């Protein structure tokens, strides 16, 4: 990656070494984060918060060292990957310089403390228990947003969004979400009416032993292409993908009455894991070798779970696998019944359990509320009421308690403001990428079409296409540039709407 000769090349080489060390610190924090969610006893929370704070402080110090600024200013590179890497380095440096070290460490401590109490508050549906800690998290997030906004020339909320998906702001997202809200207002009742005219799904009775679910989930992740020499599957309160590209950690949660929750979560997290495993090894531990942002990341989880593994073709292969694992009446595992079970439209309270059609409404609600929280237009004390009002407006339902409402997600309690839009942007991108993959692979004489392969439980053709067009690109391209290169156009909501019409409103 380093050009030969010249002072600018030497400066760039030093910057590369610095960012390598920074990435290793990030990897250490990622593994501690996985452990906190999957393995750590409750009594370790205070010490873990201090560990996060020290690592965050060390990373911030590496970026704000005067020598870093000197090297970045003196660096000059022409090779495209190196030039992209240098631009990303400079952007990361600008963000770090905007934030005082004491704020970075205070946020790490506050986020860890709040997340720990949130787990208890959610279990007990007791927002009051976590409210004081969330108020601290929000206050610090506002300070962070204001400092970043001034340095980057963005609005405070856009400055937070920039940390998750660079180049996409609220002004880009708001019209997309407004369009979808209008689409949903007509499509949801139509889908419900169509669904009501069809035979209802036949539930598959349990119990489903957790050991059998876990074994099946591991087999499905392997079938999708995950190499467990570089991965683990564990349990956590909230399914996630963490770890590092060479040591990926995915988690799920199990319910003996419903195996689908674990199975679909693992397929989703496997999509994330495959992206991490497919990142360009030649640029490992450099900004350009990382994923292209969280909307890009969500597109990879959703293209596996929603676009591939909920198709009729894949369900036809999966049904016998499920029957072999859990037994019972074979007809309950037929693809038509699985489709009615797993593609059922239902107005529900829990985002992670939502169907494709209503899921964006959950994100739109959070997008609007977190803008108000960061902008100071919504007090933390008023969050539960504002949440319930928003759910009524978007889906016509009201949560019974705050565990079904504003306590359900970890993100805000861990300081993750600006993240939520990535979920629906990713869903839209997944539909667009899948349409392009189908078009392009159908032209190849040497490989079966995507759907023919999915009918054999084979994700290899899709994985190969994504590996070339998304995974191997790292963060060399911005989100819309990546979409243009892979599909021929920037993000276009039309592909997502067409997918939903075909699946939920067939003519």
Sheet containing strand 231-235, edge to edge, reads: 231-235, 247-252, 241-244
Q: Which residue(s) pair with 233 in the sheet?
A: 250
| CA terminus-to-terminus distance, the chain | 53
Contacts of 232 (CB under 8 A, 6+ apart): 243, 247, 248, 249, 250
With contact defined as beta carbons under 8 Å apart, do 207 and 256 qualify?
A: yes
Tell me how crowded residue 34 is: count the other CB atoms within 10 A of its CB.
24
- Residues acting as catalytic residues: 269
The closest alpha carbon to 410, from 132, 121, 168, 156, belongs to 121
Burial environment of residue 31 by CB neighbours within 10 A (0 to 12, 13 to 18, 19 or more): middle
Q: In terms of DSSP H, where are the helices of 65-153?
A: 66-74, 80-98, 101-124, 127-152
Task: Give CA–CA dist 14/75, Å, rounded.
Answer: 9
Find out whether 419 and 428 touch, Cβ atoms under 8 Å: no
252 strand-pairing partners: 235
Backbone angles phi, psi at 82, to 5 degrees: -65, -40
């Amino acid at each position: 990656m380093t050009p030969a000769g010249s002072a600018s090349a030497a400066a760039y080489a030093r910057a590369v070494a610095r960012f390598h060390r920074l990435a290793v610190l990030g990897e250490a924090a990622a593994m501690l984060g996985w452990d906190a969610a999957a393995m750590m006893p409750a009594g370790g929370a205070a010490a873990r918060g201090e560990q996060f704070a020290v690592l965050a402080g060390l990373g911030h110090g590496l970026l704000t060292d005067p020598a870093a600024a000197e090297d970045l200013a003196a660096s000059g590179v022409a090779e495209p990957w190196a030039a992209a890497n240098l631009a990303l380095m400079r952007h990361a440096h600008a963000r770090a310089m905007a934030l005082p070290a004491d704020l970075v460490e205070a946020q790490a401590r506050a986020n860890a403390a709040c997340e720990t109490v949130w787990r208890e508050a959610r279990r007990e549906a007791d927002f009051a228990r976590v409210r004081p800690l969330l108020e601290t998290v929000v206050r610090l997030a506002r300070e962070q947003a204001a400092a970043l906004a001034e340095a980057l020339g963005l609005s405070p909320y856009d400055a937070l969004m920039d940390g998750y998906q660079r180049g996409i702001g609220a002004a880009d997202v708001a019209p997309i979400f407004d369009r979808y809200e209008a689409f949903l207002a007509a499509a949801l009742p139509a889908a419900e009416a169509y669904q009501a005219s069809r035979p209802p799904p036949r539930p598959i009775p349990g119990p489903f032993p957790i050991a059998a679910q876990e074994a099946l989930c591991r087999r499905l992740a392997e079938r999708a292409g995950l190499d467990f020499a570089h991965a683990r599957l564990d349990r956590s309160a909230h399914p996630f993908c963490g770890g590092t590209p060479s040591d990926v950690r995915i988690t799920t949660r199990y319910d003996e009455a419903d195996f689908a929750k674990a199975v679909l979560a693992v397929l989703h997290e496997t999509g994330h894991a495959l992206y991490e495993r497919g990142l360009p090894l030649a640029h490992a531990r450099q900004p350009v070798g990382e994923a292209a942002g969280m909307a890009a990341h969500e597109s990879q989880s959703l293209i596996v779970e929603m676009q591939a593994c909920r198709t009729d073709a894949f369900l036809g292969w999966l049904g016998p696998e499920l029957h072999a694992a859990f037994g019972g009446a074979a007809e309950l595992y037929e693809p038509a019944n699985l489709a009615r079970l797993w593609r059922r439209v239902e107005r529900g309270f829990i985002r992670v359990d939502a169907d494709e059609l209503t899921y964006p409404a959950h994100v739109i609600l959070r997008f609007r509320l977190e803008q108000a929280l960061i902008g100071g237009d919504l007090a933390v004390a008023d969050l539960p009421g504002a949440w319930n009002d928003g759910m009524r407006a978007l889906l016509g339902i009201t949560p019974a308690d705050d565990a079904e409402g504003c306590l359900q997600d970890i993100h805000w309690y861990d300081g993750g403001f600006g993240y939520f839009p990535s979920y629906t942007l990713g869903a839209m991108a997944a539909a667009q990428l899948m349409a392009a993959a189908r078009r392009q692979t159908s032209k190849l004489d040497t490989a079966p079409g995507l759907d023919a392969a999915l009918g054999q439980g084979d994700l290899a053709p899709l994985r190969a296409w994504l590996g070339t067009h998304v995974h191997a690109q790292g963060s060399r391209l911005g989100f819309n540039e990546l979409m243009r290169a892979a599909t021929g156009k920037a993000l276009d909501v039309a592909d997502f709407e067409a997918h939903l019409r075909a699946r939920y409103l067939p003519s």
